[in-house]
A and B are shown apart, each in its own frame.
Chain A
Amino acid sequence: MFGRTADRLRTFFSVPRNRNITLLVLVLLVLSAIIQVPEPHVSLAAEPILSQGPRWLTNSLVTTLVVDVVILAMALAAVIGMKEVPSGWQNVMEMLVEGIHNLTENVSGHGTVWTKRFFPWVMTIFIYVLVSNYIGLLPGVGSIGFYHPAEGAKKEAVLVEEVAQDPDMGDGVLAASVPVGAPAEDKAKEVFIPLFRAPSADLNMTFALAIISVVMTQVFGYQALGGKYFKKFFNFGGKGFLGVIQAVVGILELILEFAKIISFSFRLFGNIFAGEVLLFVMAFLVTFLVPIPFYGLELFVGFIQALVFMLLTLVFFTMATVSHDEHH
């Protein structure tokens, strides 16, 4: 029994490739014990990259500009020297644009004016969210930065701790598992502020997209149905018991629109921010190898979240343009 296992192991290790990989894994695991990643610094809010500079110059704002440049470069690389017979990068971008255009067409209905109107919004949401999600996975984003004097950082850390303990925020468990405020005290009252932060890990960005999505939903609804669209929210015309129910449903619809903003923004923010924290924590626990599967997971999550944001926006747009009376 053991002899056979030993034989198998011997044949396995007789292959140089297997031996080298095993050795590498062992070395990396040993190194993981020696080389320790500093304790992760977790902040719900995006931080200003200059301690003396303006408050608005946050790391996610810088990364937003990087994302813009990346997206425009992607677009230009595909469009400059465009050929009737596509090749290389042009193929990729054409596939992306055509795929989402077809999706928009399928959801909003063929032969309507809406495909053309929805498409730029939906497409831009997808590509912007996707690149924002993925840029957070690049090495250096979140790990390159400066140590700032603790004064502001201490306040920040306290704030974050408060947030972590605030049961309303729902992030308590996650934040509590990581000693958030610790670096400020350990590092001689200095706090690490990364230079880059994924825009979708900043609530400003997710809220902005959510507001755009919901506001445009109202705009398209008004364009499609005119004043009748708002009857969905303020439906006081009915009489008797049914009328009361209709009025209440209208109010609920109105609340739903605001709830959409919250759900849109916190879904994206939560997924991406949690993914970053997860990667931080995994790298903190075991420096090498262990974080790799989580990178795969985050690639998947980043794509899915972009798709979800885009699809929901598209569905809400389409629902707003369809008259309620048509259903009856």
Chain B
Amino acid sequence: MEVLDRLGITWQLLLSQIVNFGLLMLLLRMLLYRPVLNMLEQRKERIAQSLRDAERAAQAAAEAEKEKAAILEEARREAQEIRAQAAREAEKIAQEIRARAEQEATEIRVKAQQEAEAQMEAVLMEAKKRIADLAIAAAEQILGRELANREEHERFVDEFLAQQLGGTP
């Protein structure tokens, strides 16, 4: 015990150090270890959760991308269809228009021909009449007198013209 006294070891101080250590441990456990370890655990979980979320988000994004591609494809096909449809309809309409135009043109041509023929006829009639008149006038001058029977004359000229023109009006 002499040695212990020289080294300054007394059981009271020894006990006080042991108690001090025990108290310190309890306090630190309450104040430091538990909160810090809990925090570390919590953070670990949080990070794992974040990673999972990120992965899920990436998956969702990939799916959205795929969906987008599908929708785009669909839209493109529809557009193609609509275009084709429009082209077909336009073709049809063009054909109709062309047909109608042709028909109208034909009608116009026919009408014009008819009109031309009628005019020609009218002109011919007029000409016939003028020629008859002229012939009569010429004959009157040649004969120096007025034909007594005008109606007879006219009939005669007509017959003559008809003979000359060979039946064409």
- Name A residues whose Cβ lies closer than 8 Å to a Cβ of B: 43-47, 55-56, 58, 61, 64, 68, 71-72, 75-76, 78-79, 82, 84, 86, 93-94, 97-98, 101, 119-121, 123-124, 127-128, 159-160, 162-163, 199, 202-205, 207-209, 211-212
Contacts and interface: CB of A to CB of B under 8 A. Distances in A.
Interface residues of B, number: 31
B31 A84 contact: no
Given A58-B8, A124-B28, A207-B9, A84 B42 contact: yes
A203 B8 contact: yes
Contacts of B35: 79, 82
A94 B33 contact: no
A162 B2 CA distance: 11
A82 B14 contact: no
B39 interface: yes
Contacts of B141: none
Contacts of A76: 31
A61 B16 contact: yes
Contacts of A93: 32, 36
B106 interface: no
A209 B13 CA distance: 12
Contact of A211 (B7, B18, B43): B18
Contacts of B17: 64, 199, 204-205, 207-209
Contacts of B16: 56, 61, 64, 204
Nearest to B39: A82
Interface stretch (B19-27, B70-78, B90-98, B125-133): B19-27
Contacts of A55: 10
Nearest to B12: A56
Contacts of B36: 78-79, 93-94, 97-98
A123 B10 contact: no
Contacts of B40: 94, 97-98, 101
A204 B24 contact: no
A327 to B, nearest CB: 32
B21 A208 contact: yes
Given A45-B8, A207-B14, A71 B39 contact: no
B46 interface: yes
Given A58-B13, A75-B28, A101-B37, 19 more contacts: A44-B7, A45-B7, A56-B13, A61-B16, A64-B16, A64-B17, A71-B24, A72-B24, A72-B27, A72-B28, A75-B31, A78-B36, A79-B35, A79-B36, A84-B46, A97-B37, A163-B7, A208-B15, A209-B21
B8 A208 contact: no
A69 to B, nearest CB: 11
Interface string B33-74: 101110110110010000000000000000000000000000
B10 A56 contact: yes
B53 to A, nearest CB: 16
A203 B8 CA distance: 7
B33 A123 contact: yes
A202 B38 CA distance: 35
B6 A120 contact: no
A121 B8 CA distance: 26
30 contacts: A43-B8, A45-B7, A58-B8, A71-B28, A75-B27, A75-B28, A75-B32, A76-B31, A78-B36, A79-B31, A79-B32, A79-B36, A84-B39, A84-B42, A84-B46, A93-B32, A97-B32, A97-B33, A97-B36, A119-B33, A123-B33, A124-B21, A127-B28, A162-B6, A163-B7, A203-B8, A204-B17, A205-B17, A208-B15, A208-B20
A167 to B, nearest CB: 13
